[in-house]
């Protein structure tokens, strides 16, 4: 009999992960489910709802054969042997734990639905990131709501470590797969069943098994460690600007130590994405609930430094532009939270743009993947509302002060300054002379991702700020002349 997998939630995690399972396992029927009809329609169309290099090839190769997208959630869950839950777990915006705790509304809804429709044994897999001990809550919801005698559930934790932009590569060739479960005969059997799925393409020694709580916490801890590295190098970037050291040189020097390693040491205007901040704040909330106040404060400081980095960038732009940006056109190059994705969740661009808008700037934004509607919605939402698709507010004065451009050169025309907020490859090869000639003088570049050749920019005539690089004398002493 063909093994049937259903995945509740056709988002950034559920969609690509299930596509890879369907792609690699020809003997498994995989159905990805969502209550959002528009999203499912997009997954069934030529234009997939998310941009991810290599995703189209994988989906188009197995859609309609081993991979299906559907809104028939109850029917497909009832038929499945393994049910992945991959719904959103946004940070709560109100009530107890607001701003820190994960909102488990969508999760609980999915668990109750599973209990209602199941009439056969199933393995339930936590795929999206959840607070530690979620499995216990899911077990309780399931066991107290089951309607049919034949239903029985084993809960597994199988956190996803894919990074956006490299999701397909990460899924095809993961550093490791973690499967946590109850250490009981039936829990161990469930672990083995899921292990057999991954073993179809992942070497066995890279499939790590553990107890449920280790697996749940490993995901939060991994994201916290990665984010901590970025905040660490970003804190050093501030020090570099004050001392004349160069953060890229520092990253190279410390990354050469094999105990530290070279990855995740790129100083930036701040980390973004749907996971880092959310997971750290969630961990902070858990620590506080367990009376671990100092540990909560330690991890919260990673987010504090990230917020400081974005604020620092805005302050440098404003002070360099003679302490006022009111009515000045500023080109924003890049809005996505990193290159090769159209995702804007928690992108540092939101805070930087809001900081500049608060000071009265007019922004001309260019991003190769982010739509105008997305940018304008993002800039009119309050913090954390972005991840609550059903509570979005309408755009307000944003309309009057944001222009979305379809080219870098259009965004820069007539601008006083250019801010680079995403490291898109195309920003590495810009015609800086053409941009300079079209701008108001003195013309500034604020490179929040260190993608532009600063030496060349200065030769062209720009006042150039590179994050964590020695400061242009013009920026420390506005009475000094521009570079050339
Ligand atoms: C992250 C984790 O990497 C992944 O394992 C987890 O499953 C989900 O969260 P993602 O958010 O997609 O993935 O992107 P990631 O590549 O980790 O980057 C996150 C943010 O950090 C981006 O804004 C990126 O620009 C920034 N970053 C990353 C830096 O500023 N400097 C770096 O050196 C690396
Ligand atoms: P992630 O980045 O974790 O994949 P997304 O927000 O991209 O998160 O995707 C989560 C998806 O889960 C959304 O498309 C949402 O509509 C869907 N979802 C939430 N609750 C349910 C539910 N009870 N049944 C089916 N789909 C759901």
pLDDT tens track for 77-115? 999 999 999 998 888 888 888 888 888 889 999 999 999
* Sequential DSSP letters for 283-313: HHHHHHHTT-HHHHHHHHHHHHHHHHHHHHH
Which range has the worst mean pLDDT, 111-115, 217-221, 310-314, 394-398? 394-398
Separation between Cα atoms, residue 145 and residue 69, nearest integer Å:
27
What mean pLDDT, rounded, does the chain reach? 93
pLDDT band for position 397 (cuts 50, 70, 90): low
Q: What percent of the chain has pLDDT over 70?
A: 95
Residue of 176, 226, 303 best suited for mutating to test ligand 1, as the one with most atoms within 8 Å of CB:
226
Q: What mean pLDDT comes out for the span 226-242?
A: 97
The token pair that represents 34 in the structure block: 């969502």
The whole-number pLDDT of residue 173 equals: 97
Domains of the chain: 3-210 (3.40.50.720), 236-476 (3.40.50.720)
Q: Bridge partners of 366?
A: 333
275 belongs to the catalytic site: yes
- Comparison of pLDDT for 34 and 388, the residue scoring more: 34
Alpha helices in 84-145 (DSSP H): 105-117, 134-145
Residue of 16, 84, 106, 162 best suited for mutating to test ligand 2, as the one with most atoms within 8 Å of CB:
106
Share of the chain residues as helix, strand and coil, in percent rounded to the nearest 5: 45, 15, 40
Separation between Cα atoms, residue 366 and residue 186, nearest integer Å:
53
Burial 125-138 (b: 16+ CB within 10 A, else e): bbbbbbbbebbebb
Q: Bridge partners of 466?
A: 447
End-to-end CA distance of the chain: 74
Name the CA radius of gyration of the chain, rounded: 24
Q: Bridge partners of 403?
A: 364
Q: What mean pLDDT comes out for the span 341-354?
A: 94
- Index of the ligand 1 atom closest to the CA of residue 129: 7
The residue with tokens 């990230």 is: 306
- Comparison of pLDDT for 376 and 237, the residue scoring more: 237
- Within 8 A by CB and 6+ apart from 446, the residues are 313, 316, 317, 320, 417, 418, 419, 420, 465
From the list 62, 73, 275, 419, the catalytic residue is 275
pLDDT band for position 138 (cuts 50, 70, 90): confident
The whole-number pLDDT of residue 189 equals: 98
Ligand 1 pocket, Cβ-based, cut-off 6 angstroms:
160-164, 223, 226, 230, 264-266, 268, 271-273, 275-276, 337-338
Element (H, E) at 69: strand 67-70
The whole-number pLDDT of residue 392 equals: 44
Residue 442 preceded by cis peptide, ω within 30:
yes
Q: Is the pLDDT of residue 210 over 70?
A: yes
Q: Ligand 2 mean position to 11 CA, how many Å?
A: 6
Q: What is the pTM of this model?
A: 0.91
Q: Ligand 2 mean position to 5 CA, how many Å?
A: 17
Identify which of 292, 103, 124 has the alpha carbon closest to the alpha carbon of residue 212.
124
The whole-number pLDDT of residue 483 equals: 47
Pairing of strands 121-126, 444-447: unpaired
């Amino acid at each position: 009999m063909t093994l049937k997998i259903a995945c509740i939630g056709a988002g950034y995690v559920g969609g690509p992960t299930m596509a890879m399972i369907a792609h690699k396992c020809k003997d498994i029927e995989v159905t990805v489910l969502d209550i959002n009809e528009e999203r499912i329609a997009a997954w069934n169309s030529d234009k997939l709802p998310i941009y991810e290099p290599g995703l189209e090839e994988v989906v188009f190769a197995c859609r309609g054969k081993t991979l299906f997208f559907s809104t028939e959630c109850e029917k497909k869950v009832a038929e499945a042997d393994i049910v992945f839950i991959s719904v959103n777990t946004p940070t709560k915006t109100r009530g107890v734990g607001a701003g820190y705790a994960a909102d488990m509304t969508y999760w609980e809804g999915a668990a109750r639905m599973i209990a209602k429709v199941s009439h056969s044994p199933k393995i339930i897999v936590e795929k999206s990131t959840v607070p530690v001990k979620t499995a216990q809550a899911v077990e309780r919801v399931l066991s107290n709501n089951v309607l049919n005698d034949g239903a029985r559930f084993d809960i597994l934790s199988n956190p996803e470590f894919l990074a956006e932009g490299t999701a397909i590569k990460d899924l095809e060739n993961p550093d490791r797969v973690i499967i946590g479960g109850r250490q009981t005969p039936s829990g161990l059997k469930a672990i083995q069943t899921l292990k057999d799925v991954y073993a179809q393409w992942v070497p066995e020694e890279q499939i790590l098994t553990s107890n449920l709580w280790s697996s749940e916490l490993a995901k939060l801890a991994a994201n916290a460690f990665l984010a901590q590295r970025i905040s660490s190098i970003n804190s050093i970037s501030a020090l570099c600007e004050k001392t004349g050291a160069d953060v890229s040189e520092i990253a190279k020097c410390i990354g050469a130590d094999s105990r530290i390693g070279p990855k995740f040491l790129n100083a930036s205007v701040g980390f973004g994405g749907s996971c880092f901040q959310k997971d750290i704040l969630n961990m902070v909330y858990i620590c506080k609930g367990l009376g671990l106040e100092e540990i909560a404060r330690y991890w919260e400081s990673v987010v504090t430094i990230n917020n400081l980095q974005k604020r620092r960038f805005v302050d440098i732009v404003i002070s360099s532009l003679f302490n006022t940006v009111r009515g000045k056109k500023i080109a924003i190059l890049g809005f996505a939270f990193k290159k090769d994705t159209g995702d804007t969740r928690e992108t540092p661009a939101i805070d930087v743009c809001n900081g500049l808008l608060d000071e009265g700037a007019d922004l001309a934004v260019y991003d190769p993947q982010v739509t105008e509607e997305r940018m304008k919605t993002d800039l009119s939402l309050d913090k954390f509302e972005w991840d609550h698709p059903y509570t979005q507010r309408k755009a307000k004065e944003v309309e009057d002060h944001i222009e979305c451009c379809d080219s870098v050169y259009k965004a820069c025309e007539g601008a006083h300054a250019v801010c680079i907020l995403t490291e898109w490859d195309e920003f590495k090869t810009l015609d800086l002379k053409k941009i300079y000639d079209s701008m108001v003088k003195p013309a500034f570049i604020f490179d929040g991702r260190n993608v532009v050749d600063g030496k060349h920019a200065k030769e062209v005539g720009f006042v150039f700020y590179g994050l964590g690089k020695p400061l242009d004398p013009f920026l420390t002493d506005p009475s000094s002349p521009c570079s050339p």
